[in-house]
Amino acid sequence: MKPSGVPSYFRLPKLTYRVWRVWRRNLDVFMKTYKVNFIPSLLEPLFYLVGLGLGLGGFVQPQEGLSYIVFIASSLVAITMMYSSFFECTYACFFRM
């Protein structure tokens, strides 16, 4: 513990101006490509919900008062977030190969 009473692992690291330049560059790139990056991530769970929820949901009977659409909606959002993050992390490696 440091003399100030705050443990060293709770302190913010000292950041240089380079960190802010990288952050600003990433913000500029995101602002140029936000439609391409944001809209598919927003629409993908809706497509899954329509396809699996309404299409397949018509064949599945409610179990214990829980409809199929309520059951599958949260998992579809979670799956979409996992796919999006996986793609975001691996696309650069794939592109460079």
- Contact predicate 70/54, CB 8 Å: no
In angstroms, the CA 83 to CA 77 distance is 10
**Does the residue 39 lie in any domain?**
yes
**Local structure of 26: helix, strand or coil:** helix
- Contact predicate 44/67, CB 8 Å: no
**Does the residue 26 lie in any domain?**
yes
The owner of tokens 């659409």 is 69
Q: Which domain holds residue 16?
A: 8-96
**Does the residue 1 lie in any domain?**
no
- Contact predicate 46/18, CB 8 Å: no
In angstroms, the CA 76 to CA 45 distance is 6
**Does the residue 2 lie in any domain?**
no
Number of domains observed in the structure of the chain = 1
pTM exceeding 0.85: no
Q: Taking 60 as the threshold, does the pLDDT of residue 62 lie above it?
A: yes
**Does the residue 35 lie in any domain?**
yes
At 15-36, the pLDDT tens digits run: 888 889 998 998 898 888 888 7
**Does the residue 3 lie in any domain?**
no
Residue 63 backbone dihedrals phi, psi, to 5 degrees: -115, 125
